[in-house]
């Protein structure tokens, strides 16, 4: 009878682990994500760490909107309001009550859930473009409400609230700077929020949400409470976006009303469409687009300006693009990017990946 040595036992354990991971690709992917998240801030620069942290925050907000629009069929152009509420709840609790940031996240989530649920009640009478218009009005009004005199002592009014001195350090003497620790906190919250999102859409409640999206009359006939599920979905969607806003307050360490204009709501909506409506992982791709493509568009615009100036030296009557015009051209380049993307991928990146998988399957068969 053969006796096992410590070396053979370790080799056997490693082999069993490899076989298990090979058979369960989801578990293997999750472990790889954890390893990458643990290593990333130690290898990346401070600026890049900041950008990826912002990407994760946008992904949470986009996932929240996708739960509402992609899985329940309710359109919203007002999620910047819930993003602002989440950010301000955390900021006010930290500045007024000296509350640790970690405790403000669940409170911000609860407050945004209540606001979303309450807003969803009157919104039950609205559908389609009318609901989108109502949420658009909410996004327009929120920054002005935050500047309102009676609440200025809490919100800081136009000046906003600075949180630089309240940004948490890594606990237990861990050798991380503030940006690295902020990334780890955001990374952990992102994993939790996406776990909740996947669990929700694959649950009985998620199936009810999708049934309402596909045909609300048929859903009602089967016994689904339309009012309850619509308002709850609005609340959960607001909760996700509020968590993103709370994390944003930690990352930027500053909140002001003008940071939550309608452009933020449109950016979140664009991220959802680009990533793929009704596809949770697409939130990361959408966040990648709204974070980096505007910067790429700006570089292209200034490159075109320099190119036009170079041609003008050869051809005097050739039009010139000044610095101010180049800044204006940035929006044009971004718009062209978006039009081309929607034209080439009308179903977003989710549709493109689905098409690629289908063609690969046909090629193999």
| DSSP letter for each residue of 189-232 | HHHHHHHHHHHHHTSHHHHHHHHHHH-HHHHHHTT--HHHHHHH
- What pLDDT sits at residue 63? 96
Q: From CA 107, how far away is CA 127, in angstroms rounded?
A: 30
Q: What is the CA radius of gyration of the chain?
A: 24
Write down the pLDDT at residue 1: 45
**Which pLDDT does position 324 carry in this prediction?**
57
The domain ranges of the chain are 33-364
Q: Do 243 and 194 meet the contact criterion of CB atoms below 8 Å apart?
A: no
- Residue (of 326, 335, 334) closest to 307 by Cα position: 326
What does the pLDDT average to over 11-25? 57
Least confidently predicted of 77-81, 224-228, 267-271: 224-228
- Give the tens place of pLDDT for each residue, 167-202: 888 888 788 888 899 999 999 999 999 999 999 999
Most confident of 69-73, 81-85, 118-122, 219-223: 81-85
**Does position 2 have pLDDT exceeding 80, yes or no?**
no
The per-residue pLDDT for 149 is: 87
DSSP per position, 147-174: T-GGGHHHH-GGG-EE-GGGPPPPGGG-
Of the listed ranges 46-50, 202-206, 323-327, 342-346, the least confidently predicted one is 323-327
Structure confidence at residue 23 as a pLDDT band (50, 70, 90): low
The pLDDT score that the predictor gives to residue 6 is: 56
Q: According to the model, what pLDDT value does residue 5 have?
A: 59
What band does 113 get if pLDDT is binned at 50, 70 and 90? Answer: very high
254-255 and 161-162 strand pairing = antiparallel
Average pLDDT of the chain? 86
pLDDT, position 22? 53
Contacts of 101 (CB under 8 A, 6+ apart): 90, 94, 166, 167, 168, 250
Q: What pLDDT score was predicted for residue 356?
A: 77
CA distance 296 to 55: 16
pLDDT tens-digit series, residues 24-48: 667 777 888 889 888 999 998 889 9
135 close to 254: Cβ distance less than 8 angstroms: no
CATH of domain 33-364: 1.10.3470
Tell me the pLDDT tens digit for each residue of 260-312.
999 999 999 999 999 989 889 999 999 999 999 988 988 888 787 777 777 76
Q: Which residue has the higher pLDDT, 353 or 283?
A: 283
Coil, strand or helix at 234: helix
């Amino acid at each position: 009878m053969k006796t096992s040595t410590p070396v053979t036992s370790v080799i056997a354990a490693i082999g069993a682990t490899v076989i298990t991971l090979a058979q369960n690709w989801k578990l293997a992917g999750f472990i790889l994500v954890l390893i990458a998240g643990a290593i990333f801030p130690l290898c990346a620069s401070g600026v890049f760490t900041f950008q990826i942290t912002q990407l994760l925050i946008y992904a949470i907000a986009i996932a929240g909107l996708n739960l509402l629009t992609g899985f329940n069929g309710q359109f919203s152009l007002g999620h910047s309001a819930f993003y602002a509420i989440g950010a301000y709840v955390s900021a006010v609790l930290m500045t007024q009550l000296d509350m640790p940031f970690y405790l403000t996240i669940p409170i911000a989530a609860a407050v945004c859930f209540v606001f979303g649920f309450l807003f969803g009640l009157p919104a039950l009478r609205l559908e389609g473009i009318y609901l989108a218009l109502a949420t658009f009005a909410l996004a327009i009004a929120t920054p002005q409400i935050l500047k309102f005199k009676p609440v200025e002592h809490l919100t800081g009014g136009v000046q906003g609230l600075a949180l630089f001195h309240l940004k948490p350090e890594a606990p237990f003497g861990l050798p991380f700077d503030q940006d690295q620790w902020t990334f780890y906190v955001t990374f952990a919250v992102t994993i939790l929020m996406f776990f909740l999102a996947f669990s929700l859409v694959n649950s009985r409640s998620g199936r009810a949400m999708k049934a309402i999206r596909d045909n609300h009359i048929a859903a009602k006939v089967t016994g689904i409470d339309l009012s309850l599920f619509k308002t709850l979905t609005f609340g959960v969607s607001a909760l996700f976006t509020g968590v993103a806003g709370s994390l944003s307050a930690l990352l930027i360490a500053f909140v002001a009303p003008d940071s939550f204009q309608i452009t933020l709501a449109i950016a979140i909506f664009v991220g959802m469409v680009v990533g793929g409506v009704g596809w949770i992982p697409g939130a990361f791709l959408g966040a990648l687009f709204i974070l980096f493509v505007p910067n790429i568009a700006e570089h292209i615009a200034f490159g075109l300006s320099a190119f036009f100036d170079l041609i003008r030296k050869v051809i005097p009557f050739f039009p010139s693009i000044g610095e101010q015009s180049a800044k204006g051209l940035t929006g044009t380049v971004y718009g062209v990017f978006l039009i081309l993307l929607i034209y080439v991928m009308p179903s977003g990146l989710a549709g493109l990946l689905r098409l690629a998988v289908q063609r690969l399957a046909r090629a193999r068969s």
